[in-house]
A and B are shown apart, each in its own frame.
Chain A
Amino acid sequence: MDLKFRNKTITGILTVLPKRVVPFEEEMGDYNFPEKNSLRLKKVMGYNTHRIAAEGQCSSDFCIFGLQYLFDNGLLDKDDIDALILVTQSPDYYMPPTSNLIQGHFGMKNDMICLDINQGCAGFEIGLIQSFLLLEQETINKVVLLNADVLSSKVSKHDRNSRPLMGDAASITIVESCDNDQEILCSVNMDGTGAKAIMIPAGGFRTPASEETAAMSEDMAGNLRSLNNIVMQGDDVFNFVQREVPPMIDRLLERANKKVEDVDWYMFHQPNKLMLNKLAEAIGIPYEKMPSNIVENFGNASGVTVPTCISYNLGDKLTKESYEICMAGFGVGLTWSSILMRVGNLSFNKIIEF
C-alpha cells in the first residue's frame, strides 16, 4: 500500500540501550555446535556483542528512563505531548496498555491518546506512519513514538538461530507537524499467511504457558527450545525479505522520481549482516550507504534497530545537517514497510544507557 504525507517531520531521536554487554563468545558454549561452526556463523552474520536487559527490566522502564532524560534536559515538555504511541511485542502486561502506564507514571494530561501497537521488525516504520496519520488531526501537533522490546528473556539460551542476534533496547522519536510540505513517501505491506514464520507459540490465550509448554525439545538442527520461546523459520524469513524488499524500495524510489544514488542513507532493519549485504547488492546500494553495524554491536531489538542505526551512525551530524533517508523494516507479521523522507536539524540524536 502506498501512502503519502506532507507537513510532518522528525525533530528528535533518542536510543536507550541496556548497560549489559554480552559478547558472542560468552554464550557460544551454550549451543549444541562445534566452536568452529559458531565462529564461522559469527563472521558471516556479523554477530559480536549484544545488549541484554537486566532481569526484571521491562519495556516501560526503558521508555520512562529515556523520557525522564528528555524532560530533565529540557528537550521535551510533557504537556506538549498529544499522542504517545508504543510499538512493542513485549508489553509489561496483557492489560492495561503499557503506553497508558507510561502516561500515568508521568502524570501527563488526559487530553491525549495512548496507543500500543503490536509490531516487530517493521515497528519503526509502522509507528511513524501511525504518527503521521494522527498528525493529520488539527488537535494533534506532537507525537511521541516509543519503540521498545525486551525479548531476550523469551529466547532459549540453547537456540543458535535466535539468541545471538537478539538485543533489548528502546527508542524515543519525536514526530511533529511542520510548515515544510516536502513529500514523505511510505509503503506498507502485510502477509498474514506467513505470520507463524516468527512467533512465540505459547503464553497467549490460544496456548497459555504451562509446565508442558516449558518443556524443551531439540529441532533437526540441534537447537533446544520450548513453546514459550521465540521460534524463527530462518530460511523462510530470509527468502521473504530477499523477494519482497528490493521491489518495494525500487517502487518507492520510482514514486519519488529518484535514483538509488540520490538517497544519502539507507537505514534498514538489522537481523544480520548477510541479509543486509544481499539487499544492498540486489538494490544496488553501496555498502557504505547502508550501515550494517547494529546487530554486530547491540543486537536486533526489533523496531528499535532503525532508530539505533540513525543515532549510532549519524549522531550529532543529524542535529546540524539534513539527509534524504530511506528507512525499511521487514519481519514479524509478515510485515514489510519503508519510508523515504528528509530527516535533519534534529534537536537531539543520541544514545544513552540504562
Chain B
Amino acid sequence: MKEKIIEILSDLRSEFDFSEEGVDFIKEGMIDSFDMVCLVDELEQQFGIKISGVDITSKNFSTVASIEALLKKNGVE
C-alpha cells in the first residue's frame, strides 16, 4: 500500500520526492489543499473507497503514514 501511495503522490507532484520519511508534505508545501482533493479522487478510484468529507483534512494527508492510516480506516488492507 505504501508504494502505491508514493506512486500516486509522485504522479500528482512529480517534482518532489515523497519516499523520504518524516517529511510533512503540507508544511513543506509539497501538496496544497487542491492537490489534496485530487489525491482524494485518485485514492477513491484506485482503492474503490469513499473517503468521508470530514476526513479530508491536512492532518490526514501530511505523510505517507497518515494516508495509509486513512485508507485502513476505510477498509483497505
Contact = CB atoms under 8 A, between A and B. Distances in A.
Contacts, number: 62
Chain A interface residue bracket vs B: 20 to 34
Contacts of B54: 239, 242-243, 282
B41 A238 contact: no
A281 B52 contact: yes
A220 interface: yes
Contact of A44 (B29, B41, B53): B41
Contact of B38 (A44, A220, A275, A278): A44
Chain A interface SS verdict (over half): helix
A44 B37 contact: yes
B29 A281 contact: no
Given A40-B38, A161-B34, A274-B37, A235 B57 contact: yes
Contacts of B29: 220-221
Contact of A235 (B12, B36, B52): B36
B50 interface: yes
B56 interface: yes
B39 to A, nearest CB: 9
Interface in B1-48: 12-13, 29, 32-38, 40-41
A279 interface: yes
Interface string B37-77: 11011000000001011101110000000000000000000
Given A278-B52, A278-B53, A234 B33 contact: yes
Interface of A: 37, 40-41, 43-45, 160-161, 220-221, 234-235, 238-239, 241-243, 272, 274-275, 278-279, 281-282
12 contacts: A37-B13, A41-B37, A45-B34, A160-B34, A161-B34, A221-B32, A221-B33, A242-B53, A242-B54, A274-B37, A274-B41, A281-B53
